[in-house]
Structure 1
Amino acid sequence: MAAETEATAVGGLAGEMEVEAYRRLFPLAFLERHLRESVRPDARRPAEARPTTVALGAVSSAHGSALIRLGDTAMLASIKLELTSPPSEAPDEGSVVVEFHMPPICSPLVRPGRPAEVAPVITKVLEDILMSSGMLNLKELCLINEKACWLAYLDVYCLNADGSLFDAALISAVAAFTHLQIPLVSVGDDGRVFTVGRTEGKIKCEFVNREKRKLKLNNIPFSLTCALHKDSVLADPTAEEESIIETSVTIVLDSSDHIVSIQKPGGAVASMATIKECISLAKDRRRKLREILMDSVEAMEVDQTD
């Protein structure tokens, strides 16, 4: 009996090794075998996104921060505010600087000393989306016209890269701005604008922004990337799927399900029916992501009151 059990175990191990070898040697054929059964190698349905979590306030030294996980993809976003003078072309506005980082620890494909090629691309697209969506009103970052405003540095760090990097980066950026707590600001007798710490707050002084401690976020954007292979649309692809499938589409929608952006970096021509299917999946995904974000905000508020 023991011999039979051992033989079964050995056979099962050999079978697993054969499957893994086939997966590595013929990745596309391996994927297509799964898709014929309407399932993916990680057991998801084609239209199913990976589990997503949002943790607000992950960096105590930042004015706003969030740690998110999208499957095995992990992103950490932090916002630091700095007092500065408004630009001459927009004297009643603040400004935002965005930077996306991919340190070597996030992926074996990122080599030390060589910045990842995708990093500046995601930086540019992320900044464009945050501005063009209308989520941020830069006038709310102004403290005193022509004199003082906030410069917000948004840094997004990829901690683990396992596909759908832009989607994860956007979620973390939105969550960090949702968590953002703006410091109290006062004006000294010499006209100098300065931030007021917790202890200084007990001292009598005139606050410039007592009622402007949080940003009002409008038209919050979320995105969904879909990998396109023949007649299959794979929502939220993993790094393995992205390495096999050349064609992908990223749909960005705002709070009203209006299209903010459609990005298709190369690959085969996609039909209008396929694009419409991607948009439909993106709408469902946006609603779920909004619920996840709101749940994390409620959880944070409960923790603060306890």
Structure 2
Amino acid sequence: MADTPTPPPPPQKMKQADIDLDSVQSIGKHCDLPSCHRLDFLPFKCESCSGTYCLDHRTETAHKCAHEGRWASLRAPKPSTTTPSTPKPRSLLEGPCAHPSCKTTINTVRDPGVNCVTCRRTYCLAHRLQDSHNCDSIKPPSTGSSSTAAGHDMAKAALSRFKAWTASKKETLTKSSSRAPNPVVELAKLRRTAKGDEKIPAEKRVYVYVEAEAKSTSSKLPRGEFWYGKDWTVGRVLDKAAQGLQVANVNNRDDGEEKKLRVFHVEGGRMLEFGEKLGDAVVSGNTLVLLRGVKIVDLLVEE
């Protein structure tokens, strides 16, 4: 009788200690710090040196990072290399859209104005089409000979009044200056009494007398002493001067030239352009006058 083969022993259950250590270690990573090298199942990656570290050495200071602060510098916003542009003075052509219910300010860089050739009014882009502003029901401004003649008469009257006023103003200024004890003393007095923006450095200030011409401009304070910046535009000076003398300033509204303010330089004998810088035309001790209703900006006072 043949020998019966011996059956193999039954498989034994693996104990917890017999689990492959390699599979366990593959879950985490060892700390890259040579003095630690601890196995951490939730390691931390350093964004500066790209190393892997345990909980105790996760910070740059703890593992003495060779590239400390690199991650912060890479994420910091870079400073702008462009030079900020100086804001340009507002254009005298700016005004509201001609549509009655529209509040848009047109003739700006952002919202250009569009002239309607039929009703001869200026609209924003949204109301530029004839259907959008009911062009058929709008009567265009009259261009008859009577209105043209009236306009010429008003301009002639304003010019005559302006010449008469400037002539008397220069005569008064000449008499007062001849009686002045010393121009240096008067300028020192002006520097003490003048008011202005304290942020303007002393070397960039222009000290001037400012007044409002009574026949054309009503003001609560008829005269004042102020200082302005040499680099200020005349338009900005006008706004501050009107505020200082408490004069109504409607230059930014389309109310017609007869309501707009102008700046007259007495010593220079001319109207100042809104865009020119104050320091290019005016020196300390000069007089500026606010006028209203003068249309000719480049007018030179006749001797």
Select the structure that is richer in helix. Answer: 1
Bigger Cα Rg: 2
Scaled by the length of structure 2, the TM-score of the pair is: 0.23
Scaled by the length of structure 1, the TM-score of the pair is: 0.23
Q: Which has the higher contact order (CA 8 A, sep 6+)?
A: 1
